[in-house]
């Protein structure tokens, strides 16, 4: 197998893969009305494509198309080399489509509405690989109505593979014919022919300028159909542009080119449908983007509100957690001068309470004070347990119903504007929102106690490292060292060598007071450090709780629908880009004209 054949097979395989992906895209169900319309259009297109695939090996259907008196029938007669259809220049002559085919060609496989066509069999060499159709004129005064020739023309043109667009010096600017061609050219290759070369000037360059904005025009033929027919009847070979046109239709569009032309037509149809779908998406995507923005804003407002409430609830037990953290730090720190001060500070409340035992005078007073202290200890333990399970008790801490309803109404308004199914919001009832919050909350709060333990463990390691310990121990021992130095100097140096008096009790009282103050300052700074760290962790935990609880938002169905539509839009853009690339590759192999912007009206 030659390299060109392999490249062509690879190209056709890519077209088949494109059709498969297109079918998958159209099968997706969506709550968005524009998406459903696009999917319905693509499914209709796929039905049309299946007809084209069945006809891949059938002869090409070539139809003449042009205004009244442009010589369509004369051109058909010249192409087959004999008088087949009636001709006329002043008024419409062809009022019913005429199909000219070789006697050996089976017409039923083409899918044409044969009962609406006048069929003529002709044993012509030109008709071995193509079927000619002489079409009614599209610029008659007749309006499209059931059973009219124009309505019949619109019904069978989608079955054509190649359109021969004929015009004359007088007709090539006809707006009516140009509009009809714009509809008919979808999914067809185009061949442009200026007729009446015997009496008209050559206007092909100006005609090409008229066509360039809408069509890719590789060539325009300038023919005299009457002369060409006479030459063939006389047994002569046609000359000039007519010979080139006959060679294009009879040789270059032979059996080997059928598949390529039909693939190119197929890609034209796909390109037109996808561009139409893309315009539908582009028209509605702004509303979807706005809806997503509103969903994000609503979720953020609720998360902020929930975070504040959770933080306040968690901070209410902060003092109990501070004592647990300080105990953990001192246990990790071990025995040292400053850790002893921290232990003293941490147990100061119990120490003060137990000092009341010294005031007891009888055994009854001792028993009473002991009972009070025991009650206080049990109460403290109870509060500590409540603090440890505080997160687990937050399931009863919910969102405000008024806020939920307000969000629901706001989102419902934007949902309607974006043409999404209103049922997406109706499914997110207040009860469902609460139920969803409880489920997420239950999954997240299952290890609440362990999370508190991890927070305290993390802060303990952070505040009992070598660097932190060294700083506080050094600052604490600096004052102790200064006092010892001052006492030692007074006793060993000043009193022995200089007969200075020993320090009085006032010095030791002052030193004790300042020692207590210095210790208190250090303890205050250290506990303040612990408190800031604990507050940070509590804020982080509250934020994480709120974010986790609202990870999918209040309207997960709406958010999922928006994400799915964005995904569908990306898939559509990829399909459109692939189609445009393949269309450019296949169209260049046919040698015929093609619409630059394929319309979707004829699908």
**Tens of pLDDT, residues 323-334:** 777 888 888 888
What is the rounded CA–CA span in Å between residue 454 and residue 444? Answer: 15
Q: Span 354-371, mean pLDDT? A: 47
Q: Which helix (H) or strand (E) holds 215?
A: strand 215-216
pTM to 2 decimal places: 0.56
pLDDT at position 474 is 92
Long-range pairs, 36-40, Cβ under 8 A, ≥24: 37/280, 38/276, 38/277, 38/280, 38/281, 38/572
CA distance 476 to 331: 19
The Cβ of residue 561 has, within 10 Å, a number of other Cβ atoms equal to 22
* Largest Cα–Cα separation, the chain: 155
> How many Å apart are CA 152 and CA 156, to the nearest integer?
7
Estimate to the nearest angstrom the gap between the alpha carbon of 552 and the chain centroid. 17
**3-state DSSP: the chain helix, strand, coil percent, rounded to 5?**
70, 5, 25
528-586 pLDDT, tens per residue?
888 888 888 877 877 776 666 565 666 777 888 888 888 888 999 999 998 888 887 77
Count how many Cα atoms sit within 13 Å of the Cα of residue 274 in the half-sphere of its side chain. Answer: 27
Residue 193 — very low, low, confident or very high, per pLDDT cuts 50/70/90?
very high
Q: What is the pLDDT of residues 440-482, one digit of tens each?
A: 555 445 445 567 778 888 888 888 888 888 998 899 899 889 8
- The pLDDT of residue 587 is 66
According to the model, what pLDDT value does residue 375 have?
A: 54
Domains belonging to the chain, first-starting first, are 55-283+588-595 (3.40.50.300), 285-312+319-349+402-566 (no CATH)
Q: Alpha-carbon distance 321 to 323, whole Å?
A: 5
User: 256-309 pLDDT, tens per residue?
Assistant: 567 777 777 888 888 888 888 888 888 888 888 888 888 888 777 777 776 777
pLDDT bin (cut points 50, 70, 90) of residue 492 is: confident
Q: How far apart (Å, rounded) are the C-alpha atoms in residues 567 and 337? A: 65
Check residue 223 and give its pLDDT.
Answer: 92
Q: pLDDT-derived band of residue 502, with 50, 70 and 90 as boundaries?
A: confident
- Selection from 263, 248, 269, 235 nearest residue 191 by Cα: 248
pLDDT at 354: 46
Q: Cα–Cα distance between 208 and 542 in angstroms, integer?
A: 71
Phi/psi zone of residue 425: left (φ > 0), alpha (ψ -120 to 50 degrees), beta? alpha
d(Cα 526, Cα 344) in Å, to the nearest integer?
Answer: 14
Q: Which residues of 513-546 are buried (b: 16+ CB within 10 A; e: fewer)?
A: eebeebbeebbeebbeebbebbeebbeebbbebb
Average pLDDT of every residue of the chain: 76
Please write the tens of the pLDDT for every residue from 88-133: 544 445 567 888 998 888 887 777 888 888 889 988 888 888 889 8
Check if the beta carbon of residue 118 is closer than 8 Å to that of residue 288: no
Residues in a beta bridge with 166? 66, 193
Per-residue pLDDT of 12-65, as tens digits, reads 788 788 888 988 888 888 888 888 889 998 888 888 777 666 666 678 889 988
C-alpha distances out from residue 185 to 191, 239, 278, Å: 11, 29, 20
Res. 335 pLDDT band, cuts 50 70 90: confident
Residue with tokens 């099968």: 27
**pLDDT for res 590:** 62
Question: Radius of gyration over alpha carbons of the chain, in Å?
Answer: 46
Handedness of CA 19, 25, 28, 30 (dihedral sign): negative
Q: How far is CA 288 from CA 35, 36, 405, in A?
A: 12, 15, 21
Cα separation of 119 and 426, whole Å? 60
Structural contact between residues 523 and 342, judged by C-beta atoms closer than 8 angstroms: yes
Q: Which two tokens stand for residue 76?
A: 């058909």
Please give the Cα distance from 226 to 78 (Å, whole number): 7
Determine the straight-line distance between the first and last CA of the chain, rounded to whole angstroms. 37
Res 221: pLDDT = 92
CA 8/CA 589 separation, integer angstroms: 10
Distance CA 315, CA 354 (A): 29
Q: With 80 as the cut, is the pLDDT of residue 238 above it?
A: yes
pLDDT, residue 106, reads 82
Higher pLDDT, 176 or 367: 176
Q: Give 464's contacts (C-beta < 8 A, 6+ positions apart).
A: 329, 332, 333
Overall size of the chain counted in residues: 603
């Amino acid at each position: 197998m030659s390299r060109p054949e392999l490249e062509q097979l690879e190209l056709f395989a890519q077209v088949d893969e494109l059709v498969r992906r297109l079918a998958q895209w159209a099968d997706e169900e969506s709550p968005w009305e524009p998406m459903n319309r696009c999917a319905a259009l693509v499914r209709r297109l796929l039905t049309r494509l299946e007809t084209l695939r069945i006809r891949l090996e059938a002869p090409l259907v070539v139809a003449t198309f042009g205004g009244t008196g442009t010589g369509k029938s004369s051109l058909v007669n010249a192409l087959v080399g004999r008088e087949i259809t009636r001709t006329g220049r002043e008024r419409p002559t062809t009022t019913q489509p005429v199909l000219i085919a070789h006697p050996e060609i089976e017409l039923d496989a083409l899918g044409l509405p044969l009962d609406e066509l006048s069929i003529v069999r002709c044993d012509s060499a030109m008709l071995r690989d193509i079927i000619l159709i002489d079409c009614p004129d599209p610029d008659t005064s007749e309006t499209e109505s059931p059973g009219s020739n124009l309505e019949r023309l619109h019904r069978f043109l989608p079955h054509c593979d190649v359109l021969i667009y004929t015009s004359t010096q007088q007709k090539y600017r006809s707006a009516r014919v140009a509009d009809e061609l714009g509809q008919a050219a979808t999914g067809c290759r185009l061949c442009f022919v200026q007729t009446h070369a015997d009496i008209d000037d050559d206007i092909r360059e100006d005609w090409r300028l008229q066509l360039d904005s809408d069509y890719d025009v590789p060539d325009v033929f300038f023919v005299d159909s009457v002369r060409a027919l006479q030459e063939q009847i006389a047994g002569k070979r046609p000359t000039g542009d007519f010979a080139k046109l006959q060679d294009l239709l009879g040789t270059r569009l032979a059996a080997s080119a059928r598949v390529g032309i039909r693939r190119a037509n197929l890609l034209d149809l796909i390109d037109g449908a996808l561009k139409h779908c893309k315009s539908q998406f582009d028209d509605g995507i702004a509303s979807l983007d706005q809806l997503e923005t509103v969903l994000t804003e609503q979720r953020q407002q609720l998360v902020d509100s929930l975070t504040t409430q959770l933080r306040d609830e968690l901070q209410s037990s902060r003092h109990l957690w501070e004592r647990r953290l300080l105990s953990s730090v001192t246990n990790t720190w071990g025995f040292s001068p400053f850790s002893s001060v921290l232990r003293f500070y941490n147990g100061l409340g119990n120490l003060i309470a137990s000092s009341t035992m010294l005031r007891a005078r009888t055994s009854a007073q001792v028993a009473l004070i002991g009972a009070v202290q025991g009650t206080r200890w049990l109460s403290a333990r109870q509060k500590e347990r409540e603090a440890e399970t505080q997160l687990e008790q937050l399931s009863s801490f919910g969102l405000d119903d008024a806020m939920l309803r307000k969000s629901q109404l706001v989102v419902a308004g934007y949902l309607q504007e974006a043409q999404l199914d209103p049922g997406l919001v109706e499914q997110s009832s207040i009860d469902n929102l609460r139920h969803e919050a409880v489920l997420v909350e239950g999954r997240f709060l299952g290890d609440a106690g362990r999370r508190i333990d991890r927070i305290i463990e993390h802060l303990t390691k952070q505040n009992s490292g070598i660097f932190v310990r060294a700083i506080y121990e050094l600052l604490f021992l600096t004052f102790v060292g200064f006092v010892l130095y001052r006492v030692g100097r007074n006793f060993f140096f000043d009193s022995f060598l200089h007969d200075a008096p020993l320090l009085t009790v006032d010095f030791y009282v002052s030193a004790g007071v300042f020692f207590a103050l210095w210790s208190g300052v250090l303890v205050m700074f250290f506990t303040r450090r612990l408190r800031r760290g604990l507050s940070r962790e509590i804020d982080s935990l509250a934020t994480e709780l709120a974010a986790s609880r609202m990870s999918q938002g209040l309207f997960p169905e709406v958010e999922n629908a928006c994400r799915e539509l964005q995904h569908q839009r990306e898939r559509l853009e990829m399909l459109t880009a692939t189609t445009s690339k393949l269309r450019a590759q296949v169209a260049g192999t046919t040698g015929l004209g093609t619409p630059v912007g394929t319309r979707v009206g004829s699908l």
